[in-house]
C-alpha cells in the first residue's frame, strides 16, 4: 500500500511537470491575451455542450461525471472480494447453501449479492453462468455510456474548432478594409482550432483511456466473482475456489492462500 501511494505521488509530480511544460510552451508561443479568446471559447463550449445534450440523456451525462470521479478516487479491491468469496465457499461447505441468506442481506456489492441470490436459489451451474454472463454484458454496456460521451467529445471538438476557424475567416473577409477587425477575426480563427485540439487530445482522449481501464477492472472483478460462485455451486473445494479466482489476477498482484485455517485444509485433504 505504501509503495502504491508513492507511485501515485511520483505520477502526480510527473503530470504537474508536464502541464507546466505545456503551459510554458503555449505562453512562450503566443501572448496570454491572444490565447484567451472569448469568441472562440463560446463557439467550442456551446457547440460541444449542445451536441452532447442532444445526443445523451441527463442521467448519462451525470453518470459520466460520477464515473470520471470514481476512476480517480475509487480503487477496485480484488483482494477483499476474493477472500470474501473464499470465506463464502467455506461457509457453504460447513453449513450448506441456505446459511448464506443473512450474508445476502448484508452484502453491499450488487453483483456479488445477485450472484449469491442465484446460488441460494439452487439454480443449476449452467443456468447461473448464462444469467451472470448476461448481467456482466448489461453492466459493461452501462459502464461504456460514459466512455461513449467522452468519445463523442473527442470526435466533435476539432470539428467545432474548424467551424470557429471558418467563421473567423468569414469575418476577416467581410471586414477586409478594417484593420482592427481583421486582427480580431484572425486571432479567433486560429485559436478556435487550438481550443478544439486541446480539448480533444488533452482532456477527452486521456479521460477515455482512464475510463477504459476502470471499466476493464470492474469487468475483471465481475468475472472473478462469477468464477468463484460457479465453483461453489459445483461443490468444489474452497482451495480450488480461491486458486481459480486468484490466477485471474496479474502475476504480481496474486494473493497468498490463507493457510491459517487448519481445519479447512484438513477437510479438503479428506475430500481429495
Q: What is the pTM (predicted TM-score) of this model?
A: 0.82
Average pLDDT over residues 232-237: 93
For residue 40, what is the DSSP state?
H
What pLDDT score does 12 carry? 73
Q: In the chain, pLDDT over 90 holds for what percent of residues?
A: 59
Segments making up each domain of the chain, as ranges: 39-271
Q: Comparing C-alpha atoms, which of 232, 223, 219, 271 is closest to residue 87?
A: 232
What are the pLDDT digits (tens) for 135-151?
999 999 999 999 999 99
Is the Cα torsion angle 112, 113, 114, 117 positive or negative in sign? positive
In angstroms, the first-to-last Cα distance of the chain is 37
Amino acid at each position: 500500500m505504501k509503495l502504491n501511494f508513492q507511485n501515485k505521488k511520483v505520477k502526480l509530480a510527473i503530470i504537474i511537470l508536464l502541464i507546466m511544460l505545456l503551459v510554458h510552451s503555449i505562453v512562450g508561443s503566443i501572448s496570454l491575451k491572444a490565447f484567451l479568446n472569448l469568441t472562440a471559447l463560446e463557439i467550442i463550449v456551446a457547440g460541444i455542450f449542445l451536441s452532447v445534450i442532444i445526443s445523451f440523456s441527463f442521467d448519462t451525462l451525470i453518470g459520466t461525471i460520477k464515473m470520471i470521479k470514481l476512476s480517480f478516487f475509487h480503487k477496485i479491491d480484488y483482494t477483499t472480494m476474493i477472500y470474501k468469496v473464499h470465506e463464502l465457499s467455506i461457509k457453504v461447505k460447513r453449513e450448506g447453501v441456505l446459511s448464506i441468506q443473512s450474508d445476502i442481506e448484508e452484502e453491499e456489492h450488487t453483483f456479488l449479492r445477485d450472484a449469491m441470490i442465484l446460488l441460494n436459489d439452487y439454480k443449476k451451474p449452467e443456468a447461473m453462468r448464462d444469467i451472470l454472463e448476461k448481467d456482466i454484458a448489461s453492466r459493461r454496456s452501462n459502464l461504456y455510456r460514459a466512455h461513449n460521451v467522452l468519445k463523442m467529445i473527442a470526435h466533435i471538438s476539432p470539428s467545432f474548432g474548424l467551424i470557429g476557424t471558418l467563421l473567423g475567416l468569414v469575418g476577416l473577409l467581410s471586414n477586409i478594409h478594417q484593420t482592427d477587425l481583421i486582427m480580431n477575426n484572425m486571432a479567433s480563427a486560429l485559436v478556435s482550432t487550438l481550443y478544439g485540439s486541446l480539448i480533444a487530445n488533452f482532456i477527452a482522449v486521456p479521460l477515455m483511456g482512464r475510463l477504459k481501464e476502470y471499466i476493464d477492472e470492474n469487468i475483471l472483478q465481475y468475472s472473478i466473482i462469477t468464477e468463484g460462485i460457479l465453483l461453489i455451486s459445483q461443490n468444489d473445494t474452497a482451495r480450488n475456489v480461491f486458486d481459480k479466482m486468484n490466477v485471474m489476477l496479474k502475476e504480481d498482484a496474486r494473493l497468498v492462500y490463507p493457510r491459517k485455517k487448519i481445519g479447512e485444509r484438513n477437510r479438503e485433504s479428506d475430500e481429495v
